[in-house]
Structure 1
Amino acid sequence: MADPESPLLHALRQAVRSAPEQAEFRVALAEALINAGDADGAIVELGEALRLAPDSVPARQLMLRALSGGTPAESVPAEKPDAGFDWPTAEAELRDVAPPPRFTPAPAPPPAVPAPPPAADDAREDPRGAPAHEVERPALTLADVGGLSDVKDRLQAAFLAPLRNPELRRLYGKSLRGGLLLYGPPGCGKTFVARAVAGELGASFVSVGIADVLDMWIGSSERNLSELFQLARRQAPCVLFFDEVDALGQRRSQTRNSTMRTTVNQFLAELDSVGSDNEGVFVLGATNAPWDVDPALRRPGRFDRTVLVLPPDAEARAEILRYHLRDRPIAGVDLASLVERTDGFSGADVAHLCESAAEIALMDAVRSGEARLMGMPDFDAALEDARPSTGPWFDAARSVALFANEGGAYDDLAAYFKSHKGTKGR
């Protein structure tokens, strides 16, 4: 049986988990398992590899070798993949080792049975049969968010402190309603922060994308918005999170579509809680382009507070690197150097850097047949092709902050550019 501590097997398993649709990784893992004496494990991996790449000659050859107990098998002609082997018999003998779909087509699905309608107090159902909108209970908290201390302070003042101190809230007349707009470059954790807020509050979380609202039928978009707010009110306390709010609430002066105009009007009415009470409903929005959001949405009582979510600082980048390297075999990695060289990277950029370095080490191990630890040369090679994805966003935002900062709406962004004067793309 294979040694579970084998560095080569550990590296190959990590590769399969990182790219489960790559048949080549599964073939390499299967060959290592056969060499280590684990023919059963190799059969499972090769069955999946053949599902992904039915014409793979190495996979078929290794399958014959694994089924024969690990001894070398004859070469299998590519044009006759089934010649000389009884696949139905193999399937019957290995039914408990490899699932049937690895060898035969999946059976036809059973006839659809109409599902009972969702309860009226925890979901909405589209009249055309769309599934009910999901209500989550995130386990994340702000402690799971690396860095972003300024963002956390604003969230504490806006939502968390009033909720945790009801007597002081009543004394100062602080309402539990309101909206907050998170903006900044893509990949910097705006959605993650929104989920963490819900987890910190112990509140329900409803994530809304543009496809959940906009509809081709007249009046349907407005109805969808109304139903989402009704759902949030029933689930209060609830965080209602609108992603890409600039697409849903774009400036009415920039659109000629009357449907979009009425959708924005409905959005405004729901935020103002016309005919309803939004107490306990915390509306969060995220956007990469706040300058495209209709000004009426940012008036008091709506998205009246904005928080700039910037790329992670040095402390946050260190935490992100530790998180993505915690289960990988590494040695001699200079964390401080990586933190310095990834200045301006988004959280997604840092995660991709770790994936790229792991891919370089893994492919080197596959070619040489010997596993090795990841080191700084792998990260050096990955950094040669890595560029911050935030550059284009900062190029566009700089003009807004310097020349279109009406009423001081982007003072925090202007302060960032002032403190980073001379840096391009960051």
Structure 2
Amino acid sequence: MQVNRVVVGIFWAGLVICAVIMLWSGSSAQLGSDDIHWIKGEPSTVYDNYRVLPRLLFRGLHAQTTGSVSAAYAMIFAFHLLNSFLVYHLAGRLLVGQHTPHIAAAVFLINPLTLGTLTWIASFSYVLGATCGLVTLLASWHALTATNWQRRSGCGMIGLVALVCGLLSSHVLLFLPLAFGLIAWIQPQADRSGAALLTVMGLGISAVIYILHYDFVPTEISPAQSLSADFPATYSSSVLALLPMLGVAYILSFLGGDIDFMTSAFKAPLRWALAMLVATAIGAYGWQNRERTRRWLALLALFILLISPYILRLYMLSGFFNYHPSYMLGGRVFYIPFISVAMIIAAFCSQIIQQSTWRLGSLVLAFGLLFATWLVAVEQSNAYQGLTAVAGTPGPKPPTWAAFEESEGIWPLVWGTTAIVWMTLYVVGMRRINTSEVNDGLV
């Protein structure tokens, strides 16, 4: 027991040191105009008008440190450490396995996507928004699983207050109240009626803040276009296609590779091919093991809820330059949705190492992270910093999101039909195999 504690302590100390090294190497670039305004607590763009809490914190920091850049990075990194701690506790409640919380927190703490956010002082709103979102999820979990009525009501109130704070920090949490239903779905002892009530109250809060507080620029599409059949088709395929693209681009960005392939991957037909492949894989996995898949599907749904505001912005504001793939992987877009991705990775890794001892599994993961840190911080110190270099450099509009301005044509029908046929053949085949095994006495 004592050996395990020492190993875990060394493991986490190494992770924090690695994260500091990567942040230090990635934050050596000159500050942009947005960063300078943020250090002073001043809004620099129209989108900063609704980021009330982050600006208040920076104003207080500016009053104490007279605009110290080191103090700003220290505050941002402190909140990042706090978020990793909250991810640890959330994974411990939503997932199974003794290794899962450690892995989820480690993956969230040290990787190019989340650390890339910390190099942008102007992106502190996403870090603080993640803190509020994690507190909201943890408080709602306690509110829905507690047996004491006072504890339920108290935790529920804390969750709603944290939701308000999160919405005053980042718009990414607009649909987070729907996650209350996911908690009730994967927790058998959860209060279903309480989850419905919290969801309605949370969505009401989101709607009020969105209507009264948010001040976005005018959209580029008409109401008729937003209600057309093209919208759900483009939205759903883009959300599902993001998953495999994120996995490949994440590895390439970690190694300093080229991610321009994402420009083509978001166009039909490749986008629809990836979307249907993911949908088919989810259905196939769910058919084999429904109980275990319930948690996986809940994590996937949480990712969709957190990435949806970004997808909706792409559909409504497709002409903005910052929707280039390098902007996506710069950290701003995926910092909050990476909460779900980190837990998905943790659940997968936990299943791999569940046959080994915790000490062996932690050491293997630690050595892997140390090697990756050495590769990024020593060999290619600017490998992931280059992903964030597109800020403030508007140029010709990239063709990445051209699909949002064009008709989807016949591709949804083609790929949809293919997926339906594929799934039908799979289900029928699996049923016949299971039936034959039962008849032959194999099951």
Q: TM-score range by the shorter chain?
A: under 0.3
Greater RCO structure (CA 8 Å; 6+ sep): 2
TM-score, normalising length: structure 1 = 0.24
Structure number with larger C-alpha Rg: 1
TM-score, normalising length: structure 2 = 0.23
Task: Name the structure where strand makes up a greater proportion of residues.
Answer: 1
Task: Name the structure where helix makes up a greater proportion of residues.
Answer: 2
